[in-house]
Amino acid sequence: MNAASDPGPALLEVRGLSKSFGTLRALQEVDFTLRHGEIHALLGENGAGKSTLIKAVTGVFPRDAGIVRLGGAEVAPRSAKAAVDAGIATVYQEVNLLQNLSVAQNLYLGRQPTRFGLVREAEMRRRATELLAEFDLHIDVAEPLGNYSVAVQHIAAIARAVDQSARVLILDEPTASLDRHEVEILFAVMRKLAARGIGVIFVTHFLDQVYEICDRITVLRNGRLIGERTTAELPRIELIRMMLGRELAETTSERAAAQARQVGEICARFEDYGKAGYVAPFNLALRRGEVVGLAGLLGSGRSETARLVFGAERADSGSAAVEGRPVRLQSPRDAVAHGFGYCPEERKTDGIIADLTVRENIVLALQAKRGLSKPLSRAEQDEIAMRFIRMLDIRPPEPERPIGLLSGGNQQKVLLARWLATAPRLLVLDEPTRGIDVGAHAEIIRLIRELCDNGLALLVISSELDEIVTYSDRVIVLRDRSHIDELEGEAVDVSNILAAIAAGTTGAEAGQA
Amino acid sequence: MMPSIMQRLLQTRGLAQIIALLAILAIDRAVSPQFFDLRMQDGRLFGSLIDVLNRGAPVALLSLGMVLVIATRGIDLSVGAVMAISGAIAASLADAYGLPVALAAALGAGLLCGLWNGFLVAVLGIQPIVATLILMVAGRGVAQLITEGRIVTFTAPDLVWLGNGAVLGVPTPVAVVIGMLIITGAVVRGSALGLLIEATGGNARASELAGIGTRAMILAVYVWCGLCAALAGVIAAADIMGADANNAGLWLELDAILAVVIGGTSLFGGRFSLVLAMVGALIIQAMNTGILLSGYPPEFNLLVKAAVVLVVLLLQSPRFANAGAVLGRARQ
Amino acid sequence: MRLPPVAITAIVFVVGFALCTVQFPNFASTRVAANLLTDNAFLGIVATGMTFVIISGGIDLSVGSVIGFTTVFVALAIERLGVPPLVAFAAILLLCAAFGAAMGAIIHVFDMPPFIVTLAGMFLARGASFLMSTESTPITAPLYSTVSDFALRLPGGGRLTAIALIMLAVVAAGAVLLHFTRFGANVYALGGSRATTALMGIPVGSMTVRIYMLSSVLAGLAGIVFSFYTAAGYSLSAVGVELDSIAAVVIGGTLLTGGQGSVVGTLLGVLIQGLIQTYINFDGTLSSWWTKIVTGILLFAFIALQQAMLGIARRAGPRKAGVLKS
């Protein structure tokens, strides 16, 4: 399918890989080809299937269908350990080494040089020092790994993998917490490895870095392969379109509905609101009955903005006001008291309480808001639960079922119900349609529209640009943790958002002009 | 099909515990034909069954506090030591100052101990098992400091009554347990506390984001646990009309944890049941009494307890449940 | 500025010893020092095993009961059954190894908290020793008098007894095993992160089994030493020793959540507890419960210190150490 112009012998070939979790199809017949000595970017938004692909290839998850060939021979590792033995090593963003052990022990754990059963500490350190020197890293290998910067830890992890004769090296977001200088060091290491013939898969959300170092690019979206291109032949805006957009024609008719809407008074306002190293100070005013979309690539500061607004993270600059009165948002509790609600991106870890029933999950925020001494009676709880189960069409319509047993889409609806029960003035939705099958997806979007028709202010984050364009009155574009542009009315369309993301600062200037 | 039947039984909340209790009582009846006999004497009920309730009272009180702590995904190892402290205080003050002062001082000490544990866990963020270990080690020393290493005896009749008297024919300790169960139940289920505790234990991050003050919640359950332990200590001291700082409440924290776990509350937090924790405490005491009645040495108890811990935990272990499910599927 | 916890332990011990010497001029003698080692020999041995368990991220509540069981087993085997002492020792150590292995296997296979599994082990071992005998059985075998008579005379009148020597040997062997072997490195690795250790190809299951086996075997050895010390087997002996040994490990600078610590620190932790006891004996007016209170205070101090260090490390993030030459 991807017959490239210069097909050197493929090092790693993935053909027709599929993987489902329950009803959710996380990967659908994905092909991927890695050649000897190339650095290959694997791109896509959260939920596009990058992690699933990596984990299915390295045996962390069993795969439903498809084959993987390494150097022409079929491999099917059943654990990450087996994948390493086969020659495929992965270095995750959360470095999978041990912070409490010395650098040398980390490099040689389980294979330390020994004599008479005793570890030859000096020999091990000598070897470790030599090994790291190959990567131009000159450090005291006797120090605990945790004492060193993340960059050093990444290089140590790479060194361990390479020393265990890895032929394919997968780097999952290695540069997310590195500064510019450290990134350059890491890139030098990657180039060196590529020169040795090792194939490097580079997962990142920094497009600049992709253009700086990668030979080819594979883009995934919603578990499907969107395309494989040579970096040099792929303009940046085209790449972003591959990652975020669909066809423009699909959405134009939908826009009309959003534009016809009436918006009301400002109900929440943030001025110079920000936190150093987290999100640059921004101005944001939210009106009743208005949907404001936050658009940008992964890591651009979308979720961070949401967490600041909801008090899950404390701002260190600027001020917030609700209905014109200044307020302090020190914790989610404060935000809830002021009528805010927040459906987080990570539904399972930050949203649902899996053991509790649908009813209990629905009434939770309302109960927390009312306080301990004003418990909702069981009859009130039942009434609230049934009302929202009917209103949002939650299935199965059984309030006493543990929420953990529901599908992702229905869990999301329960979380929406949790906040709607508190009659909020502002609702923040972070990726409300993530990991939800197509039917429920459309329903959630319909709900978002209805909610704002009822006078609720909504701040919605989504990686699906056409989705954001469908329901947003205004779209704020983020890049590199700052709000760089704002599109309103006619200007809200996919190509304008793409242009703003791709152009960065120029887009912001255009917006201000 | 065995696993699926067993699982279904376990899913019916409390059924397994009630059946276990009934089975143990039946065994007790088998080894001692007079087991269910009751008689009234001096306005107080007597009999083996009453004895089970009476002797089980301290552990039942401890489990009442412990079950809330465990529901928040915590644990309190210090309750035995807190019992020793409160018993020592009550015994030392009762003769000179009377019951109200002695009781207030003892319960106040329990409150402080709970506050200390809660502070370490909720504010300093120390792991519960580590945090409460400190008081477990030092608490017994403090109790001995209060009694100066002696066994402090007292004669104050109202304190003696607390251990040996009766309310409407029911031994006072049993009445106290019933009273505390009602109070705890009313506080926890009558307010929203129960729901918020279960949410906090089930998923602390999500609860925080739903606007629940999880720290205050955690602090509160440790305070309540300290209070229950202090009450248990006073009753244990009243029962023997003296405080023995060395042995009062020794290893009872383990019995209380066991009672909670038997009562179906997971050590990983979340769902809890006050009543089933009481049933758990009764199961433990019914086993103790049964072994005593059957003429086995009381030490035999520990072996039975070890077996019970293992069986209950295996049944709760997710891996065991998975293995059962796989087995069940394979047979179908 | 960055003092390792074990250095703080050493300072506490030295300062404590100096304070005792200032108050009681005849404190600083080889006699006191040797007695400190003899009286705490069994605790030193069992705490060495506990150090491995805690560094690996676990806990072993069964050790006190295992000591009690061992003393009864040994006493009955020698006195009632006439088994030669050395054969009895071999048998009990094998039994302990099997016991520890079983606990480790349950912890690993069923993914259960070590705290609760070893709690069951604690009940089991104590109950079994009660079943064997509830009375104290004196041991009169000739080996026992030989061992208790043996001592290295130190200048100044101190007697370094056989059991003190056994303890020192165990601590030394434990230190070598923990700090200079692959096994030891794996113990630290497990305490750092079980999941990562497994990813790095270390057989986590067999490590867990072996660590609890080691702890139980050392508890058995501590039981044998305890029977030398008291020349008797008693099912109620060593009640609460699990707490003393956990306290010794933590005061010795080992992180109770695993991943950091040392055997030498544990020895110092044991000696600090012994020092408090000795001080109380010298003083004569103070009572033994001060040992528990002071131990509790030290426990809190070390736990709070470690928590503070963790907090500082988290806030500061990883240090940008190391020269990066590109």
Nearest to A299 by CA among A208, A373, A377: A208
Cβ-Cβ contacts under 8 Å, B122 against chain C: none
Task: Report the C-alpha gap between B313 and B321 in whole angstroms.
Answer: 11
When pLDDT is cut at 50, 70 and 90, the band that residue A261 belongs to is: low
pLDDT, position C112: 83
| Window 163-192 of A, Cβ < 8 Å to C | 181-182, 184-185, 188
Question: How many CB atoms are closer than 10 A to CB A8?
Answer: 10
Q: Do A368 and A409 share a domain, yes or no?
A: yes
When pLDDT is cut at 50, 70 and 90, the band that residue C1 belongs to is: very low
Q: For A79-93, what is each residue's pLDDT tens digit?
A: 888 888 889 988 887
A-C contacts at Cβ under 8 angstroms: 96
How many Å lie between the alpha carbon of B267 and the closest alpha carbon of chain A? 14
B240 — phi, psi (to 5°)? -100, 5
Question: How many CB atoms are closer than 10 A to CB C212?
Answer: 32
What chain B residue is nearest to A360 in terms of C-alpha separation?
B195
Q: Do A270 and A407 share a domain, yes or no?
A: no
Long-range (24+ apart) CB contacts under 8 A made by B265-268 are: B265/B67, B265/B70, B265/B71, B266/B70, B266/B316, B267/B70, B267/B75, B267/B316, B267/C113, B267/C116, B268/B73
Cβ-Cβ contacts under 8 Å, C127 against chain B: 299-306
Q: State the sign of the Cα–Cα–Cα–Cα dihedral A346, A350, A355, A357.
A: negative
Q: Do B192 and A370 touch (CB under 8 A)?
A: yes
Residue type, C204: V
pLDDT, position A507: 36
pLDDT, position A437: 65
Residue C36 lies in a domain: yes
Tokens 């009582």 belong to B25
Residue A492 lies in a domain: yes
pLDDT, position A396: 84
When pLDDT is cut at 50, 70 and 90, the band that residue A246 belongs to is: low
Q: For A432-444, what is each residue's pLDDT tens digit?
A: 887 676 667 777 7
Task: Report the C-alpha gap between B76 and B113 in whole angstroms.
Answer: 11
Q: Do A75 and A69 meet the contact criterion of CB atoms below 8 Å apart?
A: yes
Task: Report the C-alpha gap between B108 and B20 in whole angstroms.
Answer: 37
Q: With a cut of 70, say whether residue C238 has pLDDT above it.
A: yes
Across chain C, mean pLDDT equals 88
Q: With a cut of 80, say whether residue A320 has pLDDT above it.
A: yes
Q: Do A239 and A318 share a domain, yes or no?
A: no
A interface test, pick of B195, B218, B268 with most A CB neighbours within 10 Å: B195
Domain B41-297: assigned CATH number: 1.10.3470
**Interface predicted TM-score (ipTM):** 0.84
Q: Do A167 and A306 share a domain, yes or no?
A: no
Residue C323 lies in a domain: no
Residue span of the structural domain in which C98 resides: 5-309
Q: Do A272 and A304 meet the contact criterion of CB atoms below 8 Å apart?
A: no
Q: With a cut of 80, say whether residue A455 has pLDDT above it.
A: yes
Q: With a cut of 80, say whether residue C33 has pLDDT above it.
A: yes
Question: How many CB atoms are closer than 10 A to CB A504?
Answer: 16
CATH number at residue C250: 1.10.3470
pLDDT, position C110: 85
Q: With a cut of 50, say whether residue A55 has pLDDT above it.
A: yes
Domains held by chain A: number? 3
**A96 in contact with C, Cβ within 8 Å:** yes
Residue C315 lies in a domain: no
Query: Out of A315-319, B248-252, C1-5, C40-44, which region has the weakest mean confidence (pLDDT)?
Result: C1-5
Residue type, B115: L
Q: For A345-381, what is each residue's pLDDT tens digit?
A: 888 889 999 889 999 999 999 999 988 888 889 999 9
Domain boundaries, chain B: 41-297, 299-332
B106 — phi, psi (to 5°)? -65, -45
Across chain A, mean pLDDT equals 85
**B151 in contact with C, Cβ within 8 Å:** no
| Window 259-298 of C, Cβ < 8 Å to B | 287-293, 295-297
The distance of Cα C244 from the centroid of its chain, to the nearest Å, equals 8
Per-residue pLDDT of chain B (332 residues; tens, 9 = 90+): 344 555 555 556 778 788 888 988 888 888 888 888 888 887 788 888 888 899 999 999 999 999 999 999 999 999 999 999 999 999 999 888 988 999 999 999 999 999 999 999 999 888 898 889 889 888 988 998 898 888 888 888 888 888 888 888 889 999 999 999 999 999 998 888 999 999 999 998 999 999 998 999 999 999 999 999 999 999 999 998 888 888 888 888 888 998 998 888 888 888 899 999 999 999 999 988 888 888 877 777 888 888 887 887 777 766 665 554 444 444 43
Burial (CB count <10 Å: 0-12, 13-18, 19+), residue C164: buried
pLDDT, position B330: 42
Q: Do A115 and A152 share a domain, yes or no?
A: yes
Cβ-Cβ contacts under 8 Å, A374 against chain B: 192
What pairs with residue A144 in β-bridges?
Answer: A102
For residue A129, give the 3-state DSSP assignment. helix
CATH number at residue A188: 3.40.50.300
Q: For A108-150, what is each residue's pLDDT tens digit?
A: 998 899 888 898 999 999 999 999 988 888 899 999 998 888 8
Q: Do A457 and A405 share a domain, yes or no?
A: no
Residue C89 lies in a domain: yes
Q: Do A155 and A287 share a domain, yes or no?
A: no
DSSP string covering C175-231, please?
Answer: HHHHHHSHHHHHHHHHHH-HHHHHHTT--HHHHHHHHHHHHHHHHHHHHHHHHHHHS
Q: For A180-202, what is each residue's pLDDT tens digit?
A: 788 888 899 899 999 999 999 99
Residue A88 lies in a domain: yes
| Window 142-161 of A, Cβ < 8 Å to C | 143, 146-153
Residue A345 lies in a domain: no
Q: Do A253 and A239 share a domain, yes or no?
A: no
Q: What is the mean pLDDT of residues A388-399?
A: 87
**C189 in contact with A, Cβ within 8 Å:** yes
B interface test, pick of C111, C254, C289, C314 with most B CB neighbours within 10 Å: C289
pLDDT, position A511: 36
**A140 in contact with C, Cβ within 8 Å:** yes
**B205 in contact with C, Cβ within 8 Å:** no
Q: Which helix (H) or strand (E) holds A217?
A: strand A216-221
When pLDDT is cut at 50, 70 and 90, the band that residue C154 belongs to is: confident
Q: Do C116 and B318 touch (CB under 8 A)?
A: no
Q: For A28-48, what is each residue's pLDDT tens digit?
A: 999 999 999 999 999 987 778
When pLDDT is cut at 50, 70 and 90, the band that residue C120 belongs to is: confident
Q: For C240-251, what is each residue's pLDDT tens digit?
A: 899 899 999 999
Q: Do A395 and A383 share a domain, yes or no?
A: yes
A494 token code pair: 């996919």
B-C contacts at Cβ under 8 angstroms: 125
Task: Report the C-alpha gap between A227 and A31 in whole angstroms.
Answer: 9
pLDDT, position A439: 65
Residue A348 lies in a domain: no
Q: Which helix (H) or strand (E) holds A190?
A: helix A180-195
Long-range (24+ apart) CB contacts under 8 A made by A227-230 are: A228/A2, A228/A4, A228/A31, A228/A32, A228/A33, A230/A4, A230/A5
Percent of the residues in chain C that have a pLDDT greater than 70, as a whole number: 95
Residue A54 lies in a domain: yes
- Flag whether the pTM goes above 0.90: no
Q: With a cut of 90, say whether residue C264 has pLDDT above it.
A: yes
Q: For C218-230, what is each residue's pLDDT tens digit?
A: 999 999 999 999 9
Residue span of the structural domain in which A335 resides: 249-339+424-512
Q: Do A364 and B212 touch (CB under 8 A)?
A: yes
Q: Do A142 and C321 meet the contact criterion of CB atoms below 8 Å apart?
A: no
